[in-house]
Structure 1
Amino acid sequence: MFISSAVFIFLLFIIILSIEKEIKIKPVLIFSILTLVSSLVFSNLGIPIVKNDDKDLLRLMNNPAIETRVVESKWSLFGKTDLVEFSYPDGSRSLSIFIDGAAGSKVIKLDELENSQSKLGEALKHFPGFFPLQFLKSNEKDTSLIIGPGGGIDIVANYFGKVNFIEAVEVNPSFIELMKKYNPSTFSSKPNIKIIQNEGRNYVRKFKNKYDLIFLTIPITKSSRSTDFYMLTENYLFTVEAIADYLSALTEDGRLVFTMHSYEEIYRFLSTYLEEQKRAGISNSEAFKHVYIISNGMKPVIVIKKNKFTQKEIEPRHLVAHQTGMDKGVFYFPLIEQVKIDTVLSNDINFRWQMFDQVLYDVADNKYSFSKLSENAAINLNPTYDDSPFFYNFQFGLPDNMAILLIILAIVLIWLIREHKRNYGLLGLDGFTGLRNELFKKYSLISILLGSSYFLLQAYTFQILNLNLDSPTKSISVLLFLFLLGNGIGSLLTMFIKKDHLRFISIAVFSIIILSLIEYFLLVPILRENSSLFWLITSIGIPAFLCGIPFPLLLKLTAKIDSSNGIALLLGFSSIGGVAASSLSIILALMYGFKSTIILALLIYISILYLIHRTKRHNLLNEV
């Protein structure tokens, strides 16, 4: 990774030098040596794991009873993937795979389990996701899709659960490479197991295959690119629209099998599922007839069937759940009466016990709706949507780690107001100072607004088109490339505009407003499901092209003021507006959804048109 980056930088340096009339050998030689040395140093540099509670690998490496050895590491756009071997005091060994020192997943090898019934029993005993497979008939488990196979436990459960054909979708290519190399029996040698490198939600939407089972087991990345809930790739796996995608990918008797971390996640996923069912015209009580929940006390599993469960199906599952200890924590089965015990023991201790989670039972019994529960809960259990996909944000209002952004934005705003009154320190004016200062104030405000609206528009564009590509990291790279390319072309073509700069800025801004209204509020909802590469390029390229026009023209106007620092100030103001907007877009998305960012962007563009109109009305340009 480092070497390829170094080669790219070196080639870019050569291209820049080739623009000159002659290439100077000495700087090329020095740069080549520095590039080579740095790439070799960084490619072999062991980056330590940051001290953080989320870093599972660091905690295990600091355990004196366990010996650790990194078998192999791979860098990718997803961060560092480590395959680690652990040696225990009893002489046993195991392999686990980590992403950026976190999200550890134990490597499970099919061939070892095939040769040892005791190991097989132990592995399946501790994986509650195997429970639903035990009750399915052969025609109910023909195909399965696993989103995020981890070290292979889901694949193993499906394989020994007699699923005929298994597809496993993994977003991290380094993960797949390491597993195929060190765990081939699970990831590559079986003819009925297919591993696909793709983002799970995108794969379901794009290929529209039908599955009897869709498995998803605790797929939290917790990598360097996603240390906070608002950056987690997996959030898009748990939205109302995502559940609709999964249900549409199931056969008529198909099932979703989702393994979670805690009751909070189960509750929020249920809230999201019930909202999806509400959209389909199904009440809470009816929707609960499609659901049962089991738990071994650590990993609750929610099973959702496309069709309703029958009494005949539920009774044996309910009985075996009690017999196998899958009735701890969050526990619920439909069509079964609640059992409660409330008694006083011999030592005067009041003993209370209930078989099912009472909250879920009451919702299923139509005593109140889940939305009412969400409104009165101490944590955020509201449904999550593609427009606001922050599933792991259980906090109401603005999260604590976002408050600092608001403080910074307030400080920047106060500073800009103060500097506006002082003419921003504009230098080098000769004559007409008052008029030029007045004109520059308007240009500076337009510059800030252009920078802000640009980033808000970009944030929304990236969000709505993110799911059209097979990798979240790749999608950011592709979308950013197309956006910047469009900006560059738009900016380049402004060289042909020799006069009437404000008029052309107005035309570009007005076109952005109209195009955004048509594209984001009309075309995107219609074409999103069947979007092509041409649609992707067009939907980004045209707005990006228009966004690239106004600012260079504004710089041309500023140059006419003949200030020694006017253009530099405008560049700074535009950057300030962009940084402020990028922070504000996160806050808006958390509070009101991503659609609020495009609405604010359009309002800002309208404000720019108003400022241009004011400038023309006062005839400041002609007077200067």
Structure 2
Amino acid sequence: MNAELRLRLGVAFLSAAVIGYEIGLTRLFSFLQHYHYTFLVVSGAVCGLGLGAALSAAIRQGTEGLGRHLGWWAAFCASSMGLGALLLATFPRMPLLLMVAVAGVPFIAAGAFLALVFRVRHTESQRLYCWDLVGAALGILWVVVALKWLGGVAALISASMLALAASVLLAERLLARLTMLGLFVVLVVALLVARHGAIDLGALAEAADKPMFRALDGGRDGRNTGEVVDTRWSAFARTDLVDRSGDTGLNFYVDGGAGSYMFRFPGDYRRLFFLRREAAFFPYYFGKRERALIIGPGGGADVLYALMTGWRDIEAVEINPEIVDLVRERGDYNGHLYDLEGVDVHTGDGRNYLQRSERRYDLIALPLVYAEAADLVGYALAENYLFTREAFAAYLEHLAEGGRLALVVHNHALMLRVVATLEALWLEQGGEPGRILDHLVVVNGTRGDATSEEAYRPLLLVQKKPYTAYQLGQLRKVMAELELNAYFLPGLRERSAFAPLRTAGLAAFVAATELDISPVTDDRPFFYDATPGLDVKLVWLLLGSGFLGVLALLAPLAFGAMRERRLGEVPPLLWAFFAAGLGAGFMMVEIHLLQRFGLFLGYPTLTLAVALFALLIGTGAGSVVGSRLGLLARPSGLGLLAVVVGVICGVYGLLLTSALDWALAWSLSARVGLTLVLVAPLGMLLGTCFPACLRLGGLQHSGIVPWIWTVNGFFSVLGSVGSVALGMEWGADAALGVGAAIYVFAGAVLFLRGRGAVAVVHTDSVVESDRWTMALLLLLALCWYVAFSLIGAQSSDSALSARYPRPAIAEEVWPESLGTF
């Protein structure tokens, strides 16, 4: 294997390690921390790429001995990944800044590696960039599989082995290779240790700042101390099954937070008689009891409610396949709940499943995902497409005559937000202001205070037609028998919280509370973010990344060489400014795509394995195609191309939603194919600009390449943070629009200022290079097919070998006020 191919493979393997490590960190921190802290820590760590690129500027390295030098950087990256993973698992409650530092060291090493490669070999930037991105796509496929097979910490260590592979490829001396062999043995041992539970759950239990950790702690008296029975990792989440009592049931926790319950069910409903007074049980007493859809059944409590009340057909859609597998594996414990006659459990996104269905349901239920009120802060930055105006429209459209939508939410503010969103939908469909309340009943949670003006874990029952006096009377009788409290009954028990909606309309209703209860849409799907304005931590992260980005952009001007400009050349600052715009704009476009295709594909892991994969492959291919475009021989041509890319991104965003809505009913394989078709060409356009910037800027002055890498890295973080901030305040379409505008602005500046610059033409041998590039792309296509087959098998409904008969209905469960069962 010649040195050129070893260098390109080294770049690919290191990039695979970096993106695999980043995704693995996100999964690990999602378990260890709340979501907003995860975003904070991972963003801070990724800033290390920019720091590493800046560090490389101080390294005087030429072509001679480049591979040997890069090999040691890759080895440092590998060792810091492995050590960092073990430290984060062993000391999960280290200070946040220390956590950022530990997680960020491998990114610093990777940033120095990549910036050094592109500085020394800037004339080949466009082909090297292709290998960089193709390697990243390979890393996505690897980490998706590694998380499932190895677990979170071990998957991080496996990513370090990819970096070590890059080191081995680039090592030139026997001593270096022996050192790499020793490091490989150490990493294998660390991986084996990590597979058997490297995370210190005791430290997490002492912190007790997430529901699962409190369950493990057992409270002040130490009673009901939980024990982890089983743990599953995936690219979606870490799923734990925890035994707190061992008698009534077991608790599921997803990333240590959102939880659900799996009851011990011996086959006799009378053993679970106490459940009949739960507010979540209440909706199942009413209606035709023919077909029910449960979105997010978790451990199966709502499936059990439907069975106990005799529903004929029960469909349940659970997004977490690990929960479904665990429930089925413990069929002897739960009475084979998911395999009983008349129960069909599907894996995927519930809303996606519903919108592709032509069935009508007598009940559509969205059970409460268990979390304390304080824990909801952690979900403020997380998108939730189940409680948007468009989602409610889909639910109501799929209700049969007389059917109801049942939602259980966590607190009073979220109840108000649901009502505001329903009112927005009502007005959009031409309804009279405030009359949505005639279609709504609210039942207080089982342990709620009937005298309080604020609802406690309320149940909302919504139907298409206004509630009749007979229906309200029937509901009141059953509530009285079950000792449940009605929070709101239209015309019978009105509440001051809803008065502004009755009398003054939606705007007054939203303004009547200090919290943000404005309607939620697919464009702004942050349902749990009820705090007015941006989250404080997000603001600090935005300011911090902005400060570092500006510092990286301007600080090099202190060196005279960075201010030099010869006749016919573009000022170095302009190259850095253009790279900054590309970094921020690309991330905004990428995040928008992942959001849109996440709902379309219906399974979170497919978003990584299809949408992000296609984007990276397309971007890498665009880098190679760009090397043959004569337009990119001049800075002005590159600027013009960036303007065109920005305009296309803007138009693309306008058409994307309609295209995805039109194809939503397609089969999974067809939707995957459409995703590849829609994303890869856009990736090709996006992939032409940055490597051309590296090549043209490096040919002008090789010393500015680390500067370009640095500002691109910092502004990429700023772009990702800015995209979330814009999405929360003005919507995802606004974030895409800003990203497209940044491309246009940066390109226009380079075009106008670079018109006088001379063309820079560089020729190299492309036949051999392109042959290896095509071979790599074909290999990657094969790897993608294998990974997709694995994920597709998980996301599709597995065939059951046998159905278990339903237990006999216990009439004692049925309320006397409803008459005969």
The TM-score normalised by the length of structure 2 is: 0.65
Q: 1:167 to 1:103 in 2, by over 3 A?
A: same
Which residue of 1 is the match for residue 351 of structure 2?
201
Q: Can you give the 5+ residue segments of structure 1 that lack an aligned partner in the other structure?
A: 338-354
Which AA in structure 2 matches 1:425?
Answer: F
Comparing 299-308 and 100-109, the one that deviates more = 100-109
1:112 shift after superposition: 4.5
Which residue of 2 is the match for residue 47 of structure 1?
199
Which AA in structure 2 matches 1:478?
Answer: V
Within 2, Cα distance between the matches of 1:134 and 1:623?
76
Comparing 583-592 and 366-375, the one that deviates more = 366-375
Comparing 301-310 and 262-271, the one that deviates more = 301-310
Which AA in structure 2 matches 1:69?
Answer: E
Considering fraction of residues, name the structure with more helix: 2
- Where 1:207 maps in the other structure, the secondary structure is coil
1:428 shift after superposition: 9.0
Which residue of 1 is the match for residue 320 of structure 2?
172
Matched, 1:496 2:647: no
Q: Can you give the 5+ residue segments of structure 2 that lack an aligned partner in the other structure?
A: 1-145, 449-455, 665-670, 762-821
Q: 1:611 to 1:44 in 2, by over 3 A?
A: same
1:610 shift after superposition: 2.0
Matched, 1:508 2:641: yes
Q: 1:19 to 1:8 in 2, by over 3 A?
A: same
Which residue of 2 is the match for residue 279 of structure 1?
428
Which residue of 2 is the match for residue 246 of structure 1?
395
- Where 1:377 maps in the other structure, the secondary structure is coil
- Where 2:427 maps in the other structure, the secondary structure is helix
Which AA in structure 2 matches 1:588?
Answer: L
Which residue of 2 is the match for residue 604 of structure 1?
742
- Give the aligned length: 583
1:478 to 610, 614, 622: 610
Matched, 1:447 2:579: yes
Which AA in structure 2 matches 1:101?
Answer: G
Higher RCO (CA 8 Å, separation ≥ 6 residues): 2
Within 1, Cα distance between the matches of 2:267 and 2:746?
67
Q: 1:414 to 1:84 in 2, by over 3 A?
A: closer
Would you say the 8 A contact 1:133–1:161 is kept in 2?
Answer: yes
Which residue of 1 is the match for residue 185 of structure 2?
33
Write the deviation string for residues 552-589 of structure 1: whole angstroms up to 9, x where unpaired. Answer: 111121122234x2111111111122111111111111
Would you say the 8 A contact 1:436–1:561 is kept in 2?
Answer: no
Matched, 1:181 2:329: yes
Q: 1:535 to 1:16 in 2, by over 3 A?
A: farther
Kindly report which structure 2 residues correspond to 1:352-367, keeping only aligned pairs within 5 A, or say none.
Answer: 355-360=493-498, 363=501, 366-367=502-503
Within 2, Cα distance between the matches of 1:36 and 1:414?
41
1:384 shift after superposition: 0.7
Which AA in structure 2 matches 1:545?
Answer: M
- Where 1:218 maps in the other structure, the secondary structure is coil
Within 1, Cα distance between the matches of 2:577 and 2:722?
18
Which residue of 2 is the match for residue 459 of structure 1?
591
1:476 shift after superposition: 3.6
Matched, 1:524 2:657: yes
- Could you say what the CA RMSD is over the residues aligned between the two structures, in angstroms? 3.2
- Where 2:503 maps in the other structure, the secondary structure is coil
Runs (4 or more) in structure 1 with deviation over 6 Å come to 6-9, 11-25
Kindly report which structure 2 residues correspond to 1:22-171, keeping only aligned pairs within 5 A, or say none.
Answer: 30=182, 33-49=185-201, 50=204, 52=207, 54-63=209-218, 64-87=222-245, 92=247, 94-114=249-269, 117=270, 119-125=271-277, 127-136=278-287, 140-171=288-319
1:31 shift after superposition: 5.8
1:518 shift after superposition: 2.9
Matched, 1:332 2:488: yes
Q: 1:231 to 1:472 in 2, by over 3 A?
A: farther
Which AA in structure 2 matches 1:128?
Answer: A
Which AA in structure 2 matches 1:255?
Answer: R
1:257 shift after superposition: 0.8
1:576 to 704, 710, 714: 714
Write the deviation string for residues 324-369 of structure 1: whole angstroms up to 9, x where unpaired. Answer: 33226xx1122x34xxxxxxxxxxxxxxxxx432333563xx3222
Which AA in structure 1 matches 2:357?
Answer: F
Within 2, Cα distance between the matches of 1:578 and 1:362?
44
Which residue of 2 is the match for residue 348 of structure 1?
none
Which AA in structure 2 matches 1:609?
Answer: G
Kindly report which structure 2 residues correspond to 1:287-436, keeping only aligned pairs within 5 A, or say none.
Answer: 287-295=436-444, 296=446, 297=448, 298-327=456-485, 331-334=487-490, 336-337=491-492, 355-360=493-498, 363=501, 366-412=502-548, 414-416=550-552, 418-419=554-555, 423=557, 425=559, 427=561, 433=565, 435=567
- Where 1:97 maps in the other structure, the secondary structure is strand
Which AA in structure 1 matches 2:251?
Answer: S
Which residue of 2 is the match for residue 349 of structure 1?
none
Would you say the 8 A contact 1:504–1:550 is kept in 2?
Answer: no
- Where 1:397 maps in the other structure, the secondary structure is coil
Which residue of 1 is the match for residue 408 of structure 2?
259
1:544 shift after superposition: 1.1
Which residue of 2 is the match for residue 562 of structure 1?
701
Within 2, Cα distance between the matches of 1:468 and 1:292?
32
Would you say the 8 A contact 1:275–1:383 is kept in 2?
Answer: yes
Which residue of 1 is the match for residue 684 of structure 2?
545
Which AA in structure 1 matches 2:679?
Answer: I
Q: 1:246 to 1:294 in 2, by over 3 A?
A: same
Considering fraction of residues, name the structure with more strand: 1
Q: 1:109 to 1:263 in 2, by over 3 A?
A: same
Which AA in structure 2 matches 1:55?
Answer: K
Which AA in structure 2 matches 1:292?
Answer: V
Within 1, Cα distance between the matches of 2:405 and 2:225?
38
1:275 shift after superposition: 0.7
Which AA in structure 1 matches 2:497?
Answer: V
- Where 2:197 maps in the other structure, the secondary structure is coil
Q: 1:566 to 1:163 in 2, by over 3 A?
A: same
Which AA in structure 1 matches 2:696?
Answer: L
Which AA in structure 2 matches 1:518?
Answer: V
Within 2, Cα distance between the matches of 1:206 and 1:409?
41
1:242 shift after superposition: 0.8
Within 2, Cα distance between the matches of 1:457 and 1:249?
33
Write the deviation string for residues 209-233 of structure 1: whole angstroms up to 9, x where unpaired. Answer: 32211111113689xx997324435
Write the deviation string for residues 522-542 of structure 1: whole angstroms up to 9, x where unpaired. Answer: 343244242533331122111
1:157 shift after superposition: 0.8
Identity %: 22
- Where 2:522 maps in the other structure, the secondary structure is coil
Write the deviation string for residues 32-54 of structure 1: whole angstroms up to 9, x where unpaired. Answer: 53443222111012413435554
Which residue of 1 is the match for residue 27 of structure 2?
none
Which AA in structure 1 matches 2:346?
Answer: I
Within 2, Cα distance between the matches of 1:529 and 1:589?
24
Which AA in structure 1 matches 2:720?
Answer: S
Which residue of 1 is the match for residue 365 of structure 2?
215
Within 1, Cα distance between the matches of 2:517 and 2:193?
48
Within 2, Cα distance between the matches of 1:226 and 1:101?
13
Within 2, Cα distance between the matches of 1:81 and 1:305?
34
Write the deviation string for residues 101-125 of structure 1: whole angstroms up to 9, x where unpaired. Answer: 33332321443443xx2x3220222
1:307 shift after superposition: 2.9
Which residue of 1 is the match for residue 109 of structure 2?
none
1:613 shift after superposition: 2.6
Within 2, Cα distance between the matches of 1:159 and 1:240?
30
Within 1, Cα distance between the matches of 2:700 and 2:638?
18
Q: 1:28 to 1:53 in 2, by over 3 A?
A: closer
- Where 1:45 maps in the other structure, the secondary structure is coil
1:545 shift after superposition: 0.8
